[in-house]
Amino acid sequence: MTHRNSPVGAGPARDSLALVGAGPARDSMAAACALIAGKARSHRISGIAGRARSNKVRVVGLLVVACLLSACVSQEPRQLVPSITLSPEIVSLSEGEAVGAGLNFGITAAVNESDSLSNITVLPGIRVRAVTANGAADTAGIRAGDVILSIDGREINHPDLLDALAQQTGSAGAFVFQVRRNTTVFETTVNASANSDGRSVPTELYRADPILIRAGFTTEVFEDAGSAPVSGARIVAIFPESPLPAADLRESDTILALNGVSVQSAQSLVSRLHSEFQPGDRVLLSVLRKAAGENQLLDKEIRLWDPGQRVSRVALGPLLQYESSLDPQQTRLSIGDLWLFSLFDYQLSEGEREIRLLSIFRFATGYGELVEETAP
C-alpha cells in the first residue's frame, strides 16, 4: 500500500484557504486597494495642478514686479507759477524825452502806396495810418486810410513834410486839408493845438512781491543802540493769500534779516526771495516791531506761497499710461497700450475730448469749427 503526501494548498487545506480569500473579506480588501490607488492618483493630479497654479502665480508676480520696476510717478505744481521781472535797486521812473514844441494834428501818416500787391507804386499825397481819438484830425472828419493831398495849398507827398510843418509852427491855428477818400476828394479845416509837456513826475510807493510773500515793502533806515545805521524792509501792504498774517506779521513791521542774512533794502528782500527760494519753502524772518513805544525783535518762520502739487504722469509699463499738463492743458489716459494696439485711450486737449476703444472705435466731442465772420 502506497501513501502519497498531498501538496500544500491542495485538498481540504487549500479549500479552506480559498474560503478565507472569498466573501466579504475579499471585497473589503479590494475596496481598500482601490481607495489607496485613487488617493495616489488624486495626489498626483493635485500635485500637478498645484505646480501649474504656482507657475501661474510666479508668472503674474514677475509681470507685476516688471511693471513696478518700470513704474514712474511725476508731480508738478497744481497751478502755474507766475513769473515776474525783478526791478534793479535804483529805478528811474521818468524815462523818455520831453515833448518838443510844435503842433499836434492828431494823425499818424505814411507814404501813400498803391493798394495793388502786384504793382506797388508811390502815389501823390500821404496816407493816414491812425487818427487820435477826439484829436484835431478826428474832429475835422479825417479817418484812417484817407490820403492827404495838400495843406493850405501846399502839396504833401512825404510824412516828413507834415512833421516839419508841425514843428515849425509854434502856435495853434487852423489849417485847410485837401483829402481824398477812395475816389472822393474833399476839403476840411483842422484846428491844430500846440504840444505841451505837462507830464507829472511819478512817485515810487513800494517794491512788491506778488508771488512768494505777496506783500509790498519800503526801505527803512534807522540807527541801532550804538548809533550804527541799520536798514530793513518795512511791510506797507499785504496782498490776498499772503503767508504773513498766518505768522502774525503786520503792516509797519520791519524785516531785518532773511535766514540770518541782513536785508539791505526792500528790493534786496524781493530779489533774494526769488533767486534763493522756491514756492512752498520755509524761511526765517528777523522782524523789528514797535509796540507801546518799545522795539521788539521777533523771529518768525513762514512758509512761502505754495501752489500745491498734482500728479502729472503715471506709468505702469503697458498696463497704464497717464499724462497731464497745464500748459498746454492736456490730459491723456491709456490702458493696455501694446504699441500698435490699445484697449482704451482717452485724450483731452483744450476742451476737445477723444475716446478710442480697441483702437477701432473713436468718439470725439468739443471740436471747434472755423467760421468766417461777416462784417456788420
> Are 256 and 342 contained in the same domain?
no
Q: Are 255 and 270 in contact (CB under 8 A)?
A: no
Residue with cell 507829472: 200
In a 3-state reduction of DSSP, which class is residue 275?
A: helix
Q: Report helix, strand and coil shares of the chain as percent, to nearest 5.
A: 20, 40, 40
Query: Does the pLDDT value for residue 32 go beyond 70?
Result: no
> Are 174 and 150 contained in the same domain?
yes
Predicted TM-score (pTM) above 0.75: no
> Are 215 and 290 contained in the same domain?
yes
In a domain, 123, yes or no: yes
Q: Which domain holds residue 116?
A: 103-194
In a domain, 337, yes or no: yes
In a domain, 146, yes or no: yes
CB within 8 Å of 247: residues ≥ 6 apart: 285, 300, 301, 302
Mean pLDDT of 307-312: 74
> Are 296 and 359 contained in the same domain?
no
In a domain, 20, yes or no: no
> Are 227 and 298 contained in the same domain?
yes
Return d(Cα 107, Cα 126) in angstroms, integer: 11
Residues facing residue 232 across a β-bridge:
220
Residue with cell 467760421: 371
Return d(Cα 308, Cα 75) in angstroms, integer: 10
Last residue of a domain, one of 139, 163, 194: 194
Last residue of a domain, one of 194, 222, 252: 194
Query: In angstroms, how far apart are the furthest CA atoms of the chain?
Result: 182
Question: 322-346 burial string, b = 16+ CB within 10 Å, else e?
Answer: bbbeeeeeeebbbeebeeeebeebe
Query: Does the pLDDT value for residue 5 go beyond 60?
Result: no
Q: DSSP letter at 6?
A: P
**Lookup: cell for 363:** 468718439
How many Cα neighbours within 13 Å face the side chain of 75?
A: 6
In a domain, 13, yes or no: no
In a domain, 23, yes or no: no
pLDDT of res. 257: 94
What is the overall mean pLDDT for the chain? 77
What does 154-218 look like in DSSP terms, one character per residue?
EE--SHHHHHHHHHH--S-EEEEEEEEETTEEEEEEEEEEE----PPPP----EEETTTT-EEEE
Number of structural domains in the chain: 3
- Specify the higher pLDDT residue, 161 or 367: 161
> Are 222 and 299 contained in the same domain?
yes
> Are 159 and 219 contained in the same domain?
no
How do residues 109-133 score in pLDDT, each as one tens digit? 888 887 655 666 778 899 999 998 9
In a domain, 82, yes or no: no
Query: Does the pLDDT value for residue 28 go beyond 90?
Result: no
Straight-line distance from the first to the last Cα atom of the chain, in angstroms, rounded to the nearest whole number: 151
CB within 8 Å of 350: residues ≥ 6 apart: 328, 329, 330
Residues facing residue 262 across a β-bridge:
257
Percent of the chain with pLDDT over 70: 69
Q: For the domain that residue 233 is a member of, what is the CATH number?
A: 2.30.42.10
